[in-house]
Each structure stands twice: as structure tokens, then as C-alpha cells.
Amino acid sequence: MKNRIIVLSVLLCAAIHCGAQHKFTIGGYGEAVYSYNFYSDSPRRFLDPATYSYDKVGGYGRFDLPHVVIMMGYDFGRGWSMGTEIEFEHGGVEAAIELEDDEAIEIEQEIERGGEVALEQFWLQKSFCPEANIMAGMLIVPMGLTNGHHLPTEFFTVYRAEGENTIMPCTWHQIGVSFWGRTAHWRYEAMLLPGLNNRMFKNSTWIKTGAASAYEYTVGNEFAGVLRVDNYSVPGLRMGLSAYLGGTDNDAYPTSNRTALKGLLCIGSFDFEYKGYNVVARGNFDYGHLGNADGISSRNRSNSRKFLPSTYVGMAALAGGIEAGYDVFSLLPKRPADMKLYLFGRYEYYDCYVPPTDTATKYNWSDRNRVAFGINYYPIKDIVIKAEYSHRFYKAPYNNEPSFNIGIAYSGFFKR
């Protein structure tokens, strides 16, 4: 018995010692939203705007769980660490096999709720020093403002910024290798990843769905690179530049379906965030160009295969936006330090379809302005209650699209 006690004591001491060196973290974020849209939800509202105006068909409300995420990390020691992020979008997918008593006792498989479940991040990292780190695995692609700052406490609107979320994957994650580092005033990241599949491009979302794969793996016959640089020289201000360059052809499966259709994709982005004097301001501008968009459009339009889009794709797309909020609780003489109430406004413009040729059809519904204003109330640091009124403006003859959104969200670590 005494020997057993000694062994257990040694093991306990070893466990405590390892726990001090090897750090496990777990956290996450989640959003629950109610929206009422003062416009028709019909997919035909752009084909026949007069028939689907609000005064004729009314609007619609919806409840949503945009994102619920579990994040876990572990520090193995000696510079090695890992991280993973599992995301449930719009409530995940609820599938069940049920015994239907009122249908001749049939056994049925049913999908009871829509949504997606995705492994959004899984990486291993070796840190040599703060200025030099290498990561490999499923990584966030550091393009634009939203992909790098997508937690619900990092933007004012109830949903993520509409422009970037329309024209690019968001949150954009792919398997790749990244080399990054941070100094006092600079952060850089260079990433190598698979190219996008241009068979998945379409006029309403440009390249957004190009990172998706219906197979158990991502076809990787083309490669792409991303470079991002952030500067922190001015107190309270971060400014970032990011660029993407990659091929988008030959990423079809099986190999007999490959074509010689070349389409070089280039994207450039500038974004910033300022925090100071009880003000938070953020902004971004993104512009992208797709080579041989007319050829890709022609091929995609003739495509009749299931699960693939059959639309034109633009030669270019762009998105720009700015938002600013002021903490009115800062005017109070006494309040808890982490309790805040931001009044905010946001403006953004984006166009998801710039025609590839002068003879191609221009869809005026792709050209949008959007304004939003509302509140963000933080009872404590990691919880926010949001409410906003937004208005999406279109060129004639399309109907404008106002909406009201309210949501509650959290973001934080439970153990670190």
C-alpha cells in the first residue's frame, strides 16, 4: 500500500508539473438572431420585381443561429502547439432514422433541420520566436477584414459584413501552410494553399463557393498564395494589406473532366481598425479580378451536372465598407469598467458581378449600397446584445430591401 501511495504521489506531481507546462484552452462563440425583412424572399424577385414588391407579397421573419463554434487548443511545449475549431452554422444538421407509426410502420431517414457542420480550423504550429512561426493544417485565409476578425464581438452589425461575406468565402478556411511573425509594430503572414475551383463560381456570389468541395478531399492541381502585412505603429490603430494570387482551373474531378481553361484570380484588400477615446471604427476595401471570366462563364452556363452552378461569373468584384461606434456609457460618471453601449452606423457598397465583356449582360441587382445603424450593448466583456435597422438600396427597377435584426452573442475562453 505504501509503495502504491508513493507511486500515485509521483504520478500526481508529474501531472501537476506537466499541467503547468502543457496548457489546454477551450472557448468559443455563438450567435442567436431574429430578423424581419421588409421584402419578398422569392428567388424570382430580381427577375420580376414588380410582382414581388413588398406591398404585394409582404415580408418575412426568421430565427437563426448563424454560427456556434467550439475552439480548443493545446500547448505541447518546446514551441509546439495545436488549435482546432468546429463550427455549427444555422443550427447544424439534424438527421434521424425514425419509425413512422402512421405510415405502415415505415422506417425513414429524415433531415429535420438545415445547416452545416464544419471543421473550420485544425492546425499544428511550431514557434521558433515571436518573429517566426510556421503553421500547417486547416487554416483561416487572412484575406480582408472579416476573415481575420470574424468573432461577433469584432463587428457591430448583427450579421457579418455583407460585402465581403458575399464575394469571398467567409470564414475562408483551406488546408495550407503558413509562415507568420510579429514584432512591436508589424505582423506578417505568408500562406500557400490550394487554388479555387472555378466551376463553383457564379454571378450572385463571385468566387465565394470556390473553396467548397463535394468530395472527401479538396482537389489540388492548382496552387495559390496569400501575403498579409499589418502595422500597429499608431496607438490604437491597426492597418492591414492583403493580396491573393492563384490559379482556378484544373481543380475538377475526375481527371477526365479537366479542361485547359485558365483563370488567374487576383484579389487585393486594405482594412483598418481604430480603438480610442471611446470610439471604435473599422473599414475595408476589396477588389478582385478573374482572368478568362468569359470562357469560364460560357463553360459554366453549358454545365448541366448536378450540384454545380449554371450562371455567368464576373470579370471582377469589389466591396467596401466603414462602420463606427461611440460608447455612450463613457459619459456616465460611474459604471462597471467592462459595461459598454455603442451607438453605431455602417455604410457599405459592393458589386458581385462586373461583366467579363462589353457585350455581356449587366445585372443591376448585383450593384448594392447598404446602410445600417443600431446599438451594441455589452453587459460584460464577452457578451453582446445587438439591434439594428438596415436598408439595402438597388437601382431601378429593383425594390429596396429594408430589414430589422436583433441578436445576442458571446465570444470568449472558458479555460486558458
Number of domains in the chain: 1
> What's the rounded Cα separation, in Å, for the pair 265 and 193?
13
Angle at 48 between CA 47 and CA 54, to 5 degrees: 120
More confident residue, 253 or 18: 253
**In the predicted structure, residue 313 carries a pLDDT above the cut 50:** yes
Q: What is the pLDDT of residue 1?
A: 43
Q: Is residue 40 part of a domain?
A: yes
> What's the rounded Cα separation, in Å, for the pair 251 and 272?
34
CB 323 within 8 A of CB 371: no
Lowest mean pLDDT across 84-88, 255-259, 370-374: 255-259
Angle at 388 between CA 378 and CA 156, to 5 degrees: 50
Q: Is residue 104 part of a domain?
A: yes
**In the predicted structure, residue 75 carries a pLDDT above the cut 60:** yes
Q: Is residue 262 part of a domain?
A: yes
Confidence bin at 7 (pLDDT 50/70/90): very low
DSSP secondary structure of 335-360: --TT-EEEEEEEEEEEEEEE-SSTTS
| Stretch 217-228: mean pLDDT | 89
Beta 60-64 vs 67-77: how paired, if at all? unpaired
Q: What is the pLDDT of residue 16?
A: 40
Measured distance between the N- and C-terminal CA atoms of the chain, rounded to whole angstroms: 37
More confident residue, 120 or 228: 228
Other C-beta atoms lying within 10 Å of the C-beta of residue 138: 17
Q: Is residue 265 part of a domain?
A: yes
Q: What is the pLDDT of residue 29?
A: 97
Q: What is the pLDDT of residue 301?
A: 81
DSSP, collapsed to helix, strand or coil, labels residue 137 as: strand
**In the predicted structure, residue 217 carries a pLDDT above the cut 90:** no
> What's the rounded Cα separation, in Å, for the pair 206 and 314?
6
Q: What is the pLDDT of residue 311?
A: 82
Q: What is the pLDDT of residue 67?
A: 94
Which has the closest alpha carbon to 168: 138, 205, 193?
Answer: 205
More confident residue, 394 or 303: 394
**In the predicted structure, residue 41 carries a pLDDT above the cut 50:** yes
Q: Is residue 12 part of a domain?
A: no
Give the H or E element holding residue 60.
strand 60-64
Give backbone dihedrals phi and psi of 6, rounded to 5 degrees, phi first. Answer: -65, -45
Cα 15 to Cα 81, 246, 296: the distances in Å are 18, 47, 58
**In the predicted structure, residue 413 carries a pLDDT above the cut 80:** yes
Other C-beta atoms lying within 10 Å of the C-beta of residue 43: 9
Which has the closest alpha carbon to 248: 268, 219, 215, 286?
Answer: 219
> What's the rounded Cα separation, in Å, for the pair 140 and 148?
7
Q: pLDDT for 389-400, tens place per residue?
A: 999 999 989 999
The enclosing domain of 96 has a CATH number of: 2.40.160.10
Q: pLDDT for 155-170, tens place per residue?
A: 999 999 999 999 999 9
Lowest mean pLDDT across 8-12, 75-79, 123-127: 8-12
Q: Is residue 21 part of a domain?
A: no
| Stretch 199-222: mean pLDDT | 85
Q: What is the pLDDT of residue 265?
A: 97
Residues of the domain holding 157: 28-415
Other C-beta atoms lying within 10 Å of the C-beta of residue 77: 11
- Give the rounded percent of residues in the chain with a pLDDT score beyond 70: 85
DSSP secondary structure of 186-228: EEEEEEEEEPP-GGG-BTTTBTGGGG--SSSS---SSEEEEEE
CB 38 within 8 A of CB 45: no
| Stretch 204-229: mean pLDDT | 88
> What's the rounded Cα separation, in Å, for the pair 140 and 189?
11
Amino acid of residue 347 = Y
Q: Is residue 11 part of a domain?
A: no
Which cell is 85 given? 475549431
- The mean of the pLDDT values for the chain is 87
Give the H or E element holding residue 244.
strand 237-247
| Stretch 282-303: mean pLDDT | 90
**In the predicted structure, residue 294 carries a pLDDT above the cut 60:** yes
Amino acid of residue 363 = Y
Confidence bin at 60 (pLDDT 50/70/90): very high
Which has the closest alpha carbon to 347: 393, 302, 305, 381?
Answer: 393
> What's the rounded Cα separation, in Å, for the pair 143 and 228?
7
Other C-beta atoms lying within 10 Å of the C-beta of residue 293: 25
Contacts of 203 (CB under 8 A, 6+ apart): 311, 312, 313, 314, 352, 353, 363, 366
Q: pLDDT for 318-354, tens place per residue?
A: 999 999 999 999 999 888 888 999 999 999 999 999 9
Amino acid of residue 393 = F
The 8-class DSSP code of residue 342 comes to E
Q: Is residue 361 part of a domain?
A: yes
> What's the rounded Cα separation, in Å, for the pair 407 and 388?
9
CA 15 to chain centre: 38
Q: What is the pLDDT of residue 298?
A: 85
Give the H or E element holding residue 297.
helix 293-301
